[in-house]
Structure 1
Amino acid sequence: MGQAALKRRDVLTRTLAASLVPLLSACGRDARPVADRLAARIDEIPGGWTGAHWERGHRLRGAVPVWSSSAAEPKRAQVLVLGAGIAGLACARRLRLRGIDVALLDLEDRPGGNSRGHRIGAGDALGQGLRCPLGAHYLPTPGPEAVEVAALLEDLGLARHEHGRWVYEERWLCHSPQERLWWRDQWVDGLLPPAESSELLAQYRRFGELVEQARREVGFSMPSTHHAWSPAHQALDGKTFAAWLDEHRLTAPPLRWYLDYCCRDDYGADATQVSAWAGLHYFGSRHGFMSGEEREAVLTWPQGNGWLSERLAAPLADAFHGGRTALRVREERHGVQVLVWNDKAQVAERWDADRVVMAMPLFIAARLVEQPPSALVDAAAAMRYAPWLVTNLLLDGPPLERLGAPLSWDNVVYGSEALGYVNASQQELDPSRGPMVLTAYRALPESQRRELLQEDWRAWAGRVLADIAPLHPDLPERLQRIELMRYGHAMSIPHPGLRGSTSLGALRERAHGRLHFAHADLAGYSVFEEAFTQGERVAGRLIG
């Protein structure tokens, strides 16, 4: 082994040992041997970054080609959709169904945005590899307000309306066991920490009552744009969720940890950063505050929401143009011109369209439009984005388990900075005990964005394994491959004042000349229901 490899292993061993000490010391075990085994495996195991070409987006930071750099005749579409995430796919799909000539461009080679799937281990003994998510991994069954999402699920054969209610395809409803929490050196069922004292139970009940009161008196819906915004919403949007909890004397550490976890899971930031509206919306727009044996019904697939994005994209195969980075958007009297960089051909292209849909994060849209509307400038300046790391671990078989509840679909460690891991293979229904995939999620502080993009993948893999290895003693030996997906700007953080801003409302509610905006950013946070509905609404506006 070379000197560089030895030095890297030593650094990894020290890093892993430091990370493992808090978890392993509670079990009376020395962190160093486990750290040594992990560091050795990281150094030899295949893996690396996958799924994203962030350097294409960073082309906007350099010298952008001028309009005259594209000598070829412009390409033409009636409607040009820039961005093939869920909002862009939803918009283009609806336009195509109505016979409108549409082209869909994205800087990535594959559509889906934060809802793409992946195959890990492709090309080796696994053939096509095992399916796993690169981002969002589930969709809650829609509530009564989510009519667009319900219609999509019906179109895809996932739901049918019988006797006045929706019935979902059981094959893709999350199978049991669904959730477990590593709590006091063992796994317990569910993610809410057990109420081991009357004081904690009283706080759980009080928070549940306050959520129900807010549902009655303020009102919440998913998607949020289907509920009228009121002064009560604005008041909640003006303070942090942590401040609201403090006002109501909800201070029990297990409750506060759980609520922080929920905020980080949905919004990429904890209760000290997101608004009280966002914190209550998490529960009020879905299932309330659930405890005991209740579980929210969710749809999930081995590749996560990649299953949905693949089906949204299928009828658009001839309209999709991947590896195209939009550089400039110029609105003119009779149309819109777009300058695009074709990464495969390494040339600039021009596109002409009657209308353009900006289905991308707002901070990017504001860079592209040559004369951006003031609402876009203001909204983009107000946005904050959470970086994310999604890590897929290919194992040659199920890992050893510690005490308590069995391996579940969602597995979370109490007190951890990470968001736990998903058993991506749970929905496969394969009776064999062969290879499987665990998908680990981590929302990072904004201050770590540069580090995420620049640091070696093994360092990040080491941090992920340090979270999981104490829970599965043979994990270092089970590992066959590690692949990591990094998002520098994964999702909008709904910080105080964002959701109720007039600039977001202006972008949501109307066209700005020949430009339309469709993205989850317009809801202030990023989930499938918001993105899909934004795309559908803009398509409806274009269809007339």
Structure 2
Amino acid sequence: MNRRGLLTRALASSLVPLLSACGRDARPVADRLAARLAEIPGGWTGANWERGHRLRGALPAWPAAAGWPKRAQVLVLGAGIAGLACARRLRLRGIEVALLDLEDRPGGNSRGHRIGAGPALGEGLRCPLGAHYLPTPGPDAVEVRTLLEDLGLASFEHGRWVYDERWLCHSPQERLWWNDQWVDGLLPPAETPELQAQYRRFGELVEQARREIGFSMPSSKHAWSPAHQALDAKTFAAWLDEQRLTAAPLRWYLDYCCRDDYGAEASQVSAWAGLHYFGSRHGFMSGEEREAVLTWPQGNGWLSERLAAPLSDAFHGGRTAVRLREERHGVQVLVWNDREQTAERWEADQVVMAMPLFIGARLPEQPPAALTEAARGMRYAPWLVANLLLDAPPLERLGAPLSWDNVVYGGEALGYVNADQQDLDPSRGPLVLTAYRALRESQRKDLLQDDWRAWAGRVLADMAPLHPDLPERLQRIELMRYGHAMSIPHPGLRGSAALGALRERAQGRLHFAHADLAGYSVFEEAFTQGETVAARLLKSDRAGR
């Protein structure tokens, strides 16, 4: 048997148990998927984990950086949403900024991608590598709303905010695979009086918490209280048990929501986080109109591209900060230039650490106590994002039509997004489906070590029962892996004094701006953190000295 035959047999064997869980005859489907997967082009894309792991090995010493140091008034380390927001605000006020990131492109978890470049598709079809939507901001998200206004996405007309309809998510928006058919929405149908009662009870408790405790998005806009601290001390699952909310469809849905926003189930995140998910937004079956969402073919990459555009001359990609020394009159940073394979020395009056805390804690020669303590308390969820290029829309089973967000009840995956939902072209041509999986922390090593086809097979095993012709439609598959995609808001994290200290004030000449400071990762939190640090620097005039 040749190499492809051996690969096909191995893939089929691994797919059989995954497909058997769907209650169908697994072997024929596994054989078809494996044969296609063995020949389909694709692979890993988007991230260079070797650069990040450089901090674990032997690091260059200061003398390795020959020549004069490069200089900026403010050095921003990390070009995710928080770093871009901070650098953009400082640049608009005339501050000399340099923005460094270990990746070649800015955007962090909000990067976009193109798949299928070639004669037929030109530059390829746009698709997300991470976050794929932004809810229209509420009254507390002033900074985000101002950004959307600056970008021409929002305007205040006749006493209300109006958003660009091209990027408000088109219908149909959501569907759920439930009892062998697609149904509208993601909340499982309340088919019994008992389930209806549990839905009503949870909705009432959310509204009570909103009135008596209070939630906001971003979370820093609402004062932290003993009531918040009490919720933060227990898991969401424990709180639900206390309220006797045990119906399986409700618990599955709440687990799904937690995995979607936090990368972990209700048994791992705090009760504060679980209630914050609903209390800071649209409630739960509260009668409020659910907020609309903005989305683009490349997901939030549309936003990160526009944040990065005016910073093109200030952005330095492929550079990993490895050491940091705070001195009396400034900060020295030792940087590894991956493109030239040389060490560089940078100096600045102030440094903004716009990176995950577990990385930031490794850089200072004398790390602040709050940073060390906060980093010690962090836990991170690994994620997998798979972009599937199809030559035409796949066959559909019974029920609601292909929607923007498509989720399977009871499944471990988070479903898949139709990246071409906003495309107004009526032709049934090629399209991209983007599948998401929030993985357990124990799977981080497998994500790094397993062959890409093994992970692609897991993704296809989730989707093949939903679309009978998926193997034939599939033309290419590219996967993005995040070993530490987002902070898990486990009990005790959001209310920790160390995290609060980093969020509220500078540590010497070091300033911290990252979604980690909110305990979880969404665009609103990251962007507001970056804006807040920039405003603090400008107000205190610390950016220039």
TM > 0.5 fold call? yes
1:18 maps to 17
Cα 1:291–1:391 change in 2 (3 A) is: farther
2:5 maps to 6
In structure 1, distance between residues paired with 2:320 and 2:518: 24
Of 382, 386, 389, the residue aligned with 2:377 is: 382
Asked whether 1:541 is paired with 2:540, we answer no
Of 291, 298, 302, the residue aligned with 2:297 is: 302
Of 384, 406, 417, the residue aligned with 1:411 is: 406
In structure 2, distance between residues paired with 1:113 and 1:507: 21
Give the Å deviation of 1:415. 0.2
Give the Å deviation of 1:215. 0.2
1:474 maps to 469
Cα deviation code 1:291-311 (max 9, x no counterpart): 899643100000000000000
Q: Quick check: 1:220–1:281 contact (8 Å CA) kept in 2?
A: yes
Asked whether 1:73 is paired with 2:72, we answer no
Cα 1:293–1:234 change in 2 (3 A) is: closer
Asked whether 1:420 is paired with 2:419, we answer no
Matches within 5 A, 1:352-363: 352-363=347-358
Cα 1:291–1:221 change in 2 (3 A) is: closer
Matches within 5 A, 1:243-282: 243-282=238-277
Give the Å deviation of 1:94. 0.1
In structure 1, distance between residues paired with 2:119 and 2:380: 37
Of 446, 450, 459, the residue aligned with 2:445 is: 450
Q: Secondary structure at the match of 1:530?
A: helix
1:391 maps to 386
Q: Quick check: 1:51–1:134 contact (8 Å CA) kept in 2?
A: yes
Asked whether 1:99 is paired with 2:94, we answer yes
2:542 maps to none
For this pair of structures, how many residues does the alignment match?
539
Q: Quick check: 2:203–2:286 contact (8 Å CA) kept in 1?
A: no
In structure 2, distance between residues paired with 1:486 and 1:123: 24
Give the Å deviation of 1:61. 0.6
Q: Secondary structure at the match of 2:88?
A: helix
Q: Secondary structure at the match of 2:362?
A: helix
Cα 1:234–1:291 change in 2 (3 A) is: closer
Q: Quick check: 1:122–1:129 contact (8 Å CA) kept in 2?
A: yes
1:114 maps to 109
2:395 maps to 400
In structure 2, distance between residues paired with 1:430 and 1:463: 31
**Which amino acid in structure 2 is aligned with residue 339 of structure 1?**
L
1:527 maps to 522
Q: Secondary structure at the match of 2:332?
A: strand
Q: Secondary structure at the match of 1:209?
A: helix
2:513 maps to 518
2:118 maps to 123
Of 340, 346, 352, the residue aligned with 1:351 is: 346
Asked whether 1:40 is paired with 2:39, we answer no
In structure 2, distance between residues paired with 1:123 and 1:339: 40
Give the Å deviation of 1:8. 2.3
In structure 2, distance between residues paired with 1:156 and 1:440: 28
> Gaps (5+ residues) in structure 1?
none
> Gaps (5+ residues) in structure 2?
540-545
Q: Secondary structure at the match of 1:125?
A: coil
Q: Secondary structure at the match of 2:95?
A: coil
In structure 1, distance between residues paired with 2:57 and 2:9: 37
Asked whether 1:138 is paired with 2:133, we answer yes
In structure 1, distance between residues paired with 2:137 and 2:409: 28
Q: Quick check: 1:492–1:524 contact (8 Å CA) kept in 2?
A: yes
Q: Quick check: 2:172–2:402 contact (8 Å CA) kept in 1?
A: yes
In structure 1, distance between residues paired with 2:286 and 2:7: 45
1:496 maps to 491
Q: Quick check: 2:76–2:99 contact (8 Å CA) kept in 1?
A: yes
In structure 2, distance between residues paired with 1:111 and 1:463: 29
Is the deviation greater in 289-298 or in 61-70?
A: 289-298
Q: Quick check: 2:282–2:289 contact (8 Å CA) kept in 1?
A: no
Q: Quick check: 1:395–1:437 contact (8 Å CA) kept in 2?
A: yes
**Which amino acid in structure 2 is aligned with residue 199 of structure 1?**
E
In structure 2, distance between residues paired with 1:285 and 1:293: 13
**Which amino acid in structure 2 is aligned with residue 163 of structure 1?**
H
Q: Secondary structure at the match of 1:172?
A: coil
Q: Quick check: 1:520–1:527 contact (8 Å CA) kept in 2?
A: yes
Is the deviation greater in 8-17 or in 46-55?
A: 8-17
Cα deviation code 1:385-426 (max 9, x no counterpart): 000000000000000000000000000000000000000011
Q: Secondary structure at the match of 1:171?
A: coil
In structure 1, distance between residues paired with 2:49 and 2:424: 35
Q: Secondary structure at the match of 1:428?
A: coil
**Which amino acid in structure 2 is aligned with residue 140 of structure 1?**
P
**Which amino acid in structure 2 is aligned with residue 251 of structure 1?**
T
Cα 1:154–1:232 change in 2 (3 A) is: same
In structure 1, distance between residues paired with 2:118 and 2:538: 44
Matches within 5 A, 1:429-444: 429-444=424-439
1:319 maps to 314
Give the Å deviation of 1:270. 0.3
TM-score by length of 2: 0.98
**Which amino acid in structure 1 is aligned with residue 407 of structure 2?**
V
Give the Å deviation of 1:21. 1.2
Of 144, 151, 164, the residue aligned with 2:146 is: 151
In structure 2, distance between residues paired with 1:400 and 1:510: 55
1:214 maps to 209
Give the Å deviation of 1:370. 1.0
Give the Å deviation of 1:131. 0.2
Q: Secondary structure at the match of 1:482?
A: strand
In structure 1, distance between residues paired with 2:444 and 2:89: 35
Q: Secondary structure at the match of 1:262?
A: helix
Asked whether 1:223 is paired with 2:218, we answer yes
In structure 1, distance between residues paired with 2:286 and 2:184: 11
Q: Quick check: 2:79–2:354 contact (8 Å CA) kept in 1?
A: yes
In structure 1, distance between residues paired with 2:514 and 2:285: 30
In structure 2, distance between residues paired with 1:301 and 1:452: 27
Cα 1:293–1:13 change in 2 (3 A) is: farther
Is the deviation greater in 117-126 or in 30-39?
A: 117-126
